[in-house]
Structures are given as structure tokens and as C-alpha cells.
Amino acid sequence: MGMSLSSISSATTRAAAGIGVLVAALTVGACHADAAQATKTRPLLTTAQFAFYSDFATNLNQTLIADFVARRDGRPGAFDAEKDKTCFDRLPSTAREGWGRAVEYYRTNQASQGQRVLLRLELAGLVDRALLTNPQDRTTLNAFARARDEAGPAYRQCKWSAQNEANRAWVDRLQPLLRKHSSALGEQLPKMFQTPWRGLPFRVDVVDQVGFSGGNSASDDSGQLHILVSSTNPDNQGLSALEVVFHEACHFLAQPGGPLSNALNTAAKTAGVTLPRDVLHQVHFFIAGEAVRRSFERAGQPYTPYLYSLKLFSDGFRDAARRIWPAYMDGTRTLDQAAAELVAAFRS
């Protein structure tokens, strides 16, 4: 089945229902932290591709973001549920007021995506505040650190234990899947994207919430990838946990200017077609999900990738992807041929 350019362009990506779709790159100057000082938190699990953390400061940061976003949108805040409210109301006034001031500071100072990326990269040890070349960036990080200090007592008393337990349980459930599948996927995916891994293992911070999605990735100016993944998002449970972490890792392999991106752009230019802005991510979704599906299939387990279970993008793209890209992954079609055939599907 062909698909029209208008239908694919207007299709809504259902990121709110599951896996994240954002990779943000931030240029922050000469600011790389020494690897030995990247984090004081010990990883819960380290594999060839990933180092998983349940870090207090990162989880606090994400909870503060989630609280102010919820209040902004008219939804219950972090301590509005009955159990949490009971705990919060019993805290000393200094702790309650400190949380309130921190939420308000986050609400009034989260104007840009770049600021959130800078915060998370510092907490992940990929940015050293003292080495930032922009004095305003240092001032910003100092101010957010003070806000987290004010929020820390309430969070530690009423939230951290449950979130940390959920994060650790999620990693424990993921571990046997990684043990069985990560070696093969770690070898196959760079071949599919024709780009080698660098900077492994990627740091994965496991948290309660990741904005509107189940996970996302960000990179510093050197390309070092940082992954956030939600331990509680319903679409990240069971076998899907393997896809979410490898999908996010593949953002490193599927960057603009890489082989997949260049093949799609060249095919579109040759055909005189303007592709949807997110077509690279759409193909990325298929390749990563199909690689995970095949790995499960070899182990005798059926699996439906996110692209199809969540009905991401358009019906036309999903149908075309299923028809075109497996042959490339099997080695019977070149990357350029697959890209050209996809572009042709956009025209039909």
C-alpha cells in the first residue's frame, strides 16, 4: 500500500502513550566531567551498552519538573495523593515550605528545553559546572542546585524510598532480558544504522516519570548520550523494557548527518520529494523495534514493537516500513535502495 505525503505529515505521533521521541543536543563548551567523578551513585547494573542508575538528585529533579508541570496543567501535584499528602502534611513547616519554593523556582525558570538538558547532563556527570564557559550557565545551575537542596528533605522523607524501590525493581526485571539479548543487539544495531557505538556504556537514569513519555535521550556537545527512562510508565513494562532502552540508545546511531539520514535525504532530493521532518525517527523506530522483535522471535517469544503496538505515525508509514525495511535488515536490499523505495511510497 502506498501512502501520501500529506497523510504521513499530518499523522500524530502518540509519544504521550509510550516511548519518547526526543533527542536534544546541547553545546555547552569545554565542560566534560572527569569520568571518575561523573556520579557518586553506584550503578545498579552495568552491561556492555548501558550503566543503569537510580540516582537521588536526578529523581528529585524529575519529580520537581513533574510537580510543576502537573500543577500548571491542573492535575494533582507530587504530594496530592492521599498517602503522599498525609506524609507531607506531617513534615516540619520548613520542609513543606522548602518544597513549595523549589517547585515555584522550577516553574518560573524552566523556560527552555536547553535549560532542562543542561540540568540533566550535569546531574549525570556529563557537564562540569566549574568548567562551563558561559557564566550565566554556572549561575543557573547554582540556583537550581539550591532549589533542590530546599526540596530534598520533603522528597527524601515522602517520595524517594518508593521511587527508588520501583526503579530498582524495574532494572531487576530488565536484567534477564539484557543477559539474553543485549550482546546480539549490541552487534547488530550498529550494522543496521551503519554507525559504530562510541562512549559505551551509555548512562541510563531510571526515574519515576519522564515528561509525557516513557523515555528520552539527550547528548552533550561531544555526542555522549544520556538516557532517561521511566520505571512506572505502563508501556515500559515486560518485554517492552528491552525495546525502550535500545530505542533510546539507537538515537546515537541515527543522528542527522549519519548514513541513514543521508540515504533518506539523497533519495528524497533525487525524487524531488519533501520528506516529513521526523522521517529519520520513524525509520529509527522500525529498525530498532524490528531488531528487538527478531531477537525475541529467535528465543521463541512473540513480541510486537512499539511502532505497531502503539500505532505510532501513520498507517501508511507502518505498512510501508513493514514491506520495505526487513529486506534491508536481511541484507537483500542496500540502504540506498530501501531509502529510495520508501521515498517512492511517500509519492504514491
pLDDT at position 111, please?
A: 53
Grid cell of 216 as nine digits: 528520552
Q: What's the mean pLDDT in 117-141?
A: 91
Strand partners, 228: 205, 216
Question: Domain ends where: 249, 276, 310?
Answer: 249
Contacts for 314 with CB less than 8 Å, ≥ 6 apart: 3, 7, 8, 10, 11
The answer to whether residues 263 and 240 belong to one domain is no
pLDDT at 16 over 50: no
The answer to whether residues 309 and 244 belong to one domain is no
**Which residue has better confidence, 249 or 77?**
249
User: d(Cα 197, Cα 180) in Å, to the nearest integer?
Assistant: 20
pLDDT at position 34, please?
A: 38
pLDDT at 20 over 70: no
pLDDT at position 152, please?
A: 98
Q: What's the mean pLDDT in 255-260?
A: 96
The answer to whether residues 305 and 225 belong to one domain is no
Count of CB atoms situated within 10 Å of the CB of 78? 24
The answer to whether residues 9 and 129 belong to one domain is no
pLDDT at position 213, please?
A: 82
Q: What's the mean pLDDT in 210-214?
A: 84
* Cβ 106 vs Cβ 78: under 8 Å: no
Band (pLDDT 50/70/90 cuts) for residue 69 is: confident
- The percent of residues above 90 in pLDDT, for the chain, comes to 74
Instruction: Name the least confident of 24-33, 102-111, 243-252.
Output: 24-33
Strand partners, 225: 219
Band (pLDDT 50/70/90 cuts) for residue 40 is: low
Question: Domain ends where: 249, 277, 301?
Answer: 249
Band (pLDDT 50/70/90 cuts) for residue 68 is: confident
Number of folded domains that form the chain:
2
pLDDT at position 72, please?
A: 86
Grid cell of 338 as nine digits: 530501501
pLDDT at position 31, please?
A: 46
pLDDT at position 30, please?
A: 36
Band (pLDDT 50/70/90 cuts) for residue 9 is: very low
The answer to whether residues 192 and 327 belong to one domain is no
* Cβ 118 vs Cβ 26: under 8 Å: yes
pLDDT at 4 over 70: no
Residue 233, Cβ density class (10 Å: 0-12 exposed, 13-18 middle, ≥19 buried): buried
Band (pLDDT 50/70/90 cuts) for residue 81 is: confident
The answer to whether residues 263 and 173 belong to one domain is no
Query: What domain range includes position 192?
Result: 19-249
- The percent of residues above 70 in pLDDT, for the chain, comes to 87
**Which residue has better confidence, 25 or 334?**
334
pLDDT one-digit tens code per residue, 261-319: 999 999 999 999 999 999 999 999 999 999 999 999 999 999 999 999 999 999 999 99
The answer to whether residues 130 and 259 belong to one domain is no
The answer to whether residues 326 and 272 belong to one domain is yes
The answer to whether residues 61 and 138 belong to one domain is yes
CA distances (Å), origin 181, targets 24, 37, 294: 27, 30, 10
| Sheet containing 225-230, strands listed edge to edge, beginning at the edge strand earlier in sequence | 23-25, 215-219, 225-230, 202-207, 50-53, 45-46
Kindly report the average pLDDT of the chain as a whole number: 88
Instruction: Name the least confident of 42-56, 68-82, 142-156, 272-286.
Output: 68-82
pLDDT at position 71, please?
A: 85
The answer to whether residues 65 and 130 belong to one domain is yes
The answer to whether residues 268 and 228 belong to one domain is no
Question: Domain ends where: 249, 282, 305?
Answer: 249
pLDDT at 346 over 60: yes
The answer to whether residues 112 and 178 belong to one domain is yes
Q: What is the pTM of this model?
A: 0.89
